[in-house]
């Protein structure tokens, strides 16, 4: 096994913080030969063993730790153990038992860097974003089948981040065959179709499950504006909660078409109270401002504006702009549910951005609740850089 030897003083993050990433600037030399995705021994400059990691020569993240135990073998049995532990972690939480839509593996937070796995009924969708995860595809699939008993596994390894690892996009069935009927899940009493082949991420945003339920509890009698509505998860929960009217805006025509189809799956919901608008959200909100239109409850759930800390400044301006527009469209006493999934924007910075937007909008506002991802989307204490959901429920005077 090849050895990755660090520069002097660069072992601190691995020894003390157990951070799973080793950046190129921390690496002194590679002794031996290693191909992309191969497991290498990581050593401090004094040759003290630090653990074993997946090597990625084309990425600025030169290696991702599989284990901080220098004696632990990284083999098929390793992935079987890690996957079984991740699945058991979810099964141990009462609120997740029986959920038809569930995140099974959350990459670094489950000790499996570059591995995402979501379950929709008897179908699992896996996304492999690192060279190491790609290398162990067969073992990961076998571990998922063993741990879940799923009927089929579909791969959605088509995110842009694979390019940074020197990997090509790849999609398709890895286990079992395509289902005879379109996939759908029941979430908080609402039926939702899931497009695992063409939808965002693995087909759906499972991390917002609890926040969609909260919106349903808040929506009774309110005029709701759902921005970046995608396939209507928030919108349908608002209707189920008794909203007087729900306007959903997204720039994607196909996403809105799926949202309408999702509404049709729920004949118990008042379809006449739903309005769908294909538009640029920023421009639509400016137009509402000019027209003097106001809302009781606004949801801002944009795509990530900052894929990394290097994009944080530009992203902060975008978050400031969209929240400023949102605050200006709220009636007195209105509520703003605002989110960020950008890895480059932490919760503390996001809160400052939202506070600044409220100030510039001339609104007195207070945080009613901090909002996070669902229980099946954990955040590792040693890995705060992940693209974890951060949100705020804010009320204005």
pLDDT at 385: 66
pLDDT at 309: 65
* 102 contacts 206 by C-beta, under 8 angstroms: yes
Query: Residues with Cβ < 8 Å from 338, sequence gap 6 or more?
Result: 299, 300, 323, 326, 354, 391, 392, 394
Instruction: Read off the pTM.
Output: 0.93
* 124 contacts 146 by C-beta, under 8 angstroms: no
Concerning whether 341 is annotated as a catalytic residue, the answer is yes
CA neighbor of 78 nearest in space, from 130, 37, 136: 136
DSSP assignment of 251-276, as one string? Answer: S-HHHHHHHHHHHHT-TTS-GGGEEE
CA neighbor of 260 nearest in space, from 242, 243, 244, 278: 278
H helix or E strand, kind and range, residue 21: strand 21-23
Bridge partners of 330, per DSSP, are 295
Question: How far, rounded to the nearest angstrom, does the alpha carbon of residue 354 sit from its chain's CA centroid?
Answer: 21
Which residues of the chain are under the pLDDT cut of 50? none
Bridge partners of 127, per DSSP, are 116
Indicate which residue of 341, 349, 354, 389 is catalytic.
341
Strands 295-300 and 223-227: parallel
CA neighbor of 241 nearest in space, from 166, 190, 284, 197: 190
- Give the whole-angstrom CA distance, residue 371 versus residue 88: 25
DSSP assignment of 334-367, as one string? Answer: EEEEEEE--TTS-HHHHHHHHHHHHHHTT--EEE
Bridge partners of 223, per DSSP, are 245
CA neighbor of 301 nearest in space, from 262, 334, 341, 263: 341
Question: How far, rounded to the nearest angstrom, does the alpha carbon of residue 200 sit from its chain's CA centroid?
Answer: 10
Q: How many CB atoms lie within 10 A of CB 18?
A: 15
Mean pLDDT, all residues of the chain: 95
């Amino acid at each position: 096994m090849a050895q990755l030897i660090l520069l002097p003083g660069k072992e601190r993050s691995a020894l003390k913080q157990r951070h799973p990433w080793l950046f190129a600037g921390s690496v002194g030399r590679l002794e031996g030969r290693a191909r992309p995705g191969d497991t290498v021994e990581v050593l401090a400059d004094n040759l003290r063993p630090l653990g074993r990691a997946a090597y990625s020569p084309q990425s600025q993240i030169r290696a991702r730790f599989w284990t901080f135990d220098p004696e632990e073998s990284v083999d098929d049995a390793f992935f079987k153990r890690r996957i079984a532990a991740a699945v058991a972690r979810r099964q141990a939480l009462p609120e997740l038992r029986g959920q038809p839509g569930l995140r099974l593996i959350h990459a670094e937070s489950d000790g499996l860097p570059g591995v995402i796995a979501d379950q929709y009924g008897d179908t699992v969708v896996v996304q492999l974003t690192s060279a190491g995860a790609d290398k162990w595809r067969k073992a990961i699939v076998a571990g998922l089948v063993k741990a879940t008993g799923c009927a089929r596994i579909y791969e959605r390894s088509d995110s842009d981040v694979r390019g940074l690892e020197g990997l090509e996009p790849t999609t398709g069935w890895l286990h079992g065959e395509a289902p005879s009927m379109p996939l759908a899940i029941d979430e908080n009493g609402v039926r939702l179709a899931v497009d695992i082949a063409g939808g965002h991420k693995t087909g759906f945003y499972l991390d917002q499950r609890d926040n969609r339920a909260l919106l349903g509890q808040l929506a009774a009698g309110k005029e709701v504006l759902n921005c970046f509505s995608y396939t209507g998860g928030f919108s349908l929960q608002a209707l189920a909660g008794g909203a007087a009217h729900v306007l959903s805006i997204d720039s994607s025509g196909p996403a809105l078409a799926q949202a309408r189809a999702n509404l049709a799956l729920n004949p118990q919901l008042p379809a006449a109270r739903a309005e769908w608008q294909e538009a640029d959200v920023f421009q639509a909100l400016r137009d509402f401002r000019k027209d003097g239109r106001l809302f009781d409850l606004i949801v801002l759930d944009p795509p990530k504006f900052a894929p990394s800390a290097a994009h944080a400044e530009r992203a902060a301006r975008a978050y400031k702009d969209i929240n400023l527009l949102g605050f200006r469209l709220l009636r007195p006493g209105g509520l703003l549910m605002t989110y960020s999934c950008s890895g480059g924007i932490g919760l503390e910075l996001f809160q400052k951005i939202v506070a600044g937007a409220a100030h510039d909008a001339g609104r007195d506002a207070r945080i009613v609740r901090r909002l996070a991802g669902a229980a099946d989307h954990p955040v590792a204490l040693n890995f705060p850089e992940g693209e974890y959901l951060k949100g705020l429920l804010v009320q204005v005077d």
